[in-house]
Amino acid sequence: MAWAIIGALVKSEVLPPKNIIASDIAVERLELAEKEFGVTTTQDNAQVFAKSNAVVLAVKPQFLPEVLENLAASPEFPGEGRKLIISIAAGVGCAKMEDILYTGLDEDAKSRLPIVRVMPNTPALVGQGMAGMAANAYTAEEDRLTAQTIMDAAGKALWFDEKDINGVTALSGSGPAYVFYLAEAMVRGGVEAGLPEDKALAMAIQTIKGAALLMEETGEAPGLLRKKVTSKGGTTAAALTVFHENKVLEAIVKGMLAAKKRGEELG
């Protein structure tokens, strides 16, 4: 995800490459980032913190505590200026990050270290991501604008109360997998209907893309658009009747609620 965000910031010209510094334990990854985007790189997270106004923590959840602890123990921490911390580690709430970063800090230092939690999704890799964001109590309007600008570069982003982030995860965070699952079913159905697999895949992709664009541009509810394209006694109605009989819609909703519950368990 870090790669997607850096690429989006550079491509959209939100930030010039010289203003971006990336850190990773893998030297080859850093060399590739320098070559691909022209950004500055380092293996020292503390250096990134010291030189940045906004720090994006794009690490796996199990590694985030260690990264935060190392930052908090560095000589550069907490610094004199304002530092916005943006975490995209799934399942790690603002309170957990505060427990590590704010220990031993006075109110003034805490107020200069706002935290924003982000739940992105994989279409950010192609600049079409959807992110949900939540801010802690020390986050000012200027910090929200910074986080919004960064995440909008890779698609779109909306603000939520942190209590709703697991719902965001269930919808947009895991959502691409649901769409891929639908595409998988459409391709299989096309093949069983006698179509070549490559053409079935191309048709499924364009159909999903076109339907999404139609929803966006018309602003009409999905249910209304579905009814408009469904003629009584027609082919679409025949398919939807089978879906209704097998409670496909209900199964999707149950799956999303299971994802939300799992997010709560992990958090």
Structure-derived torsion over alpha carbons of residues 204, 210, 216, 220, reported in degrees to the nearest 10: -90
Residue 78, preceding bond cis, omega within 30 degrees?
A: yes
> Do residues 47 and 23 touch, judged by C-beta distance below 8 A?
yes
CA distance 100 to 150: 24
CA 133 to chain centre: 9
Q: How far is CA 190 from the centre of its chain?
A: 31
Number of other residues whose CB lies within 10 A of the CB of residue 25: 9
Q: CA 67, CA 88: separation in Å to the nearest integer? A: 13
Whether 56 and 84 have beta carbons less than 8 Å apart is answered as: no
Bridge-based pairing state of the strands 115-119 and 40-42: unpaired
Answer yes or no: is 45 a known binding residue.
yes
How far is residue 227's CA from residue 224's CA, in Å, rounded to a whole number? 5
59 annotated to bind ligand: yes
165, 132 contact by CB (below 8 A) = yes
Residue 83 marked as a ligand binder: no
Token digits of residue 26: 């893998």
Annotation: binding site for NADP(+)? 58-61
Can you say which residues are annotated as belonging to the binding site? 45, 58-61
Binding residues for NADPH are: 45
